[in-house]
Amino acid sequence: MPASDKMNTLPPGSWLGLLGGGQLGRMFCHAAQSLGYRVAVLDPAGDGPTAMVADRHVSADYADTQGLAELAGLCPAITTEFENVPAASLRALAARVRVSPGADAVAIVQDRNDEKAYVAGQGIPVAPNVPVRATADLESADAALFPGILKVARLGYDGKGQARVATREEALAAFAAFGSVPCVLEALMPLDYEVSVVLARGADGEAAVFPVARNVHRDGILAVTTVGAPMDAALTEQATQAALGIAHGLGYVGVLCVEFFVLRDGRLVVNEIAPRPHNSGHYSMDACQTSQFEQQARVLAGLPLGSTRLLAPAVMLNILGDVWFTPGSDTPREPDWAAVLAVPSAKLHLYGKHEARRGRKMGHVTCVAATLEQAQADALAVAAALGLPGTLD
């Protein structure tokens, strides 16, 4: 590490700040604390997953001036765990302390139209699309965009704020149902499968890329991530270089995920960017030399990036609140965790959320084994124990 960078390194025992109190923040806390740092979280919820484990909790809105000042007064470096923190708050903090990722990068990713325009401007393919800010935009949209998907431009995640639309009329109805807020209309693409690239980039421009993951979504929510499966080398390189190019162009500092569609003809197009650790990178906690959350802490503290080497093949299963309910019942019951942990390779991570709700992310299980075939077989055993679909695709 250059001497100039060492001057900016925060020693263990220092305070690291975090905006956002969900499960990603909780896992960041654990990683930062394992390196010897103390973590203060600003989150309006008093009993969120992060507040339970953070060393200090600042109970305030993300735009609260006094709360932001308190966090900045304690923490010489601050990061986020979700992308919808107001960019203005990040800018205000950056006037006083180190902030990563920066407000300008986050602001682009907070709006799907800005994000797609940025990616396309980098020469990286995206799905054909058009911004929708009024009904006239849909009325004049190219017929080739149908069938398509209408997505709200801001605040949508895990399939929320999205509607498949076969016709212009369906798109107009969906736009009205969304409250006529700004949207983007994307053409449906002939999808083969989905992959994601998670990387960490330091303030010195050095980057470390995690193995490309293959993902399966159900109802718009990530269900399965597999790493260590054979994958076309040219496609892997293309995805990696595209993700690195996006991060470099944004001047990004922190952990970033780029999700891609792989089309049936082999083409690769960017779906979305997440300016934070990502659900599809959770496997790194058990299957890589360094986890995505430790990388986030390293970047924030000004430490060298860790190795992203894959130690063994892995399959990660998301655990949603649905597994607390038997079919046809609204009365929750505890899943059979003993049966899950009877699978020798299973690593269980629960997020400490008080209430299980259908569709809510409650935890994940990663099966790490000597071979991909064993990891897949173990993941199917875990799925059976939890009542999840008995397939990984």
Domains of the chain: 3-99 (3.40.50.20), 128-187 (3.30.1490.20), 191-386 (3.30.470.20)
Q: Say what the pTM is.
A: 0.94
Phi and psi angles of residue 172, each rounded to the nearest 5 degrees, phi first? -65, -40
pLDDT per position as a tens digit, 302-350: 999 999 999 999 999 999 999 999 888 888 999 999 999 999 999 999 9
Give the Cα-Cα-Cα angle 261, 80, 124 (nearest 5 degrees).
25
- The SS3 assignment for 350 reads strand
Provide the pLDDT for residue 220.
86
Average pLDDT of the chain, as a whole number? 94
* Closest among 316, 376, 324 to 347, alpha carbons compared: 316
Q: Is the pLDDT of residue 5 over 60?
A: no
Per-position b or e across 189-198, b if 16+ CB within 10 A of its CB: beeeebbbbb
298 pairs with which residues across the strands? none
Among candidate residues 112, 80, 229, 248, the one with its CA nearest the CA of residue 178: 112
Point out the annotated binding site.
112, 151, 156-162, 194, 217, 271-272
What value does the mean pLDDT take over residues 141-153? 95
What is the rounded average pLDDT of the residues 347-363?
A: 96
Question: For tokens 């790490």, what's the residue?
Answer: 368
- Say yes or no to pLDDT of 4 above 80: no
* Phi, psi angle pair for 325, to nearest 5°: -125, 135
Question: CA-to-CA distance for 4 and 152, rounded, in angstroms?
Answer: 43
15 DSSP β-pair partners? 38
**Binding site membership for ATP: which residues?**
112, 151, 156-162, 194, 217, 271-272
Token digits of residue 124: 């990286």
For residue 119, which phi and psi values (nearest 5 degrees)?
Answer: -60, -45
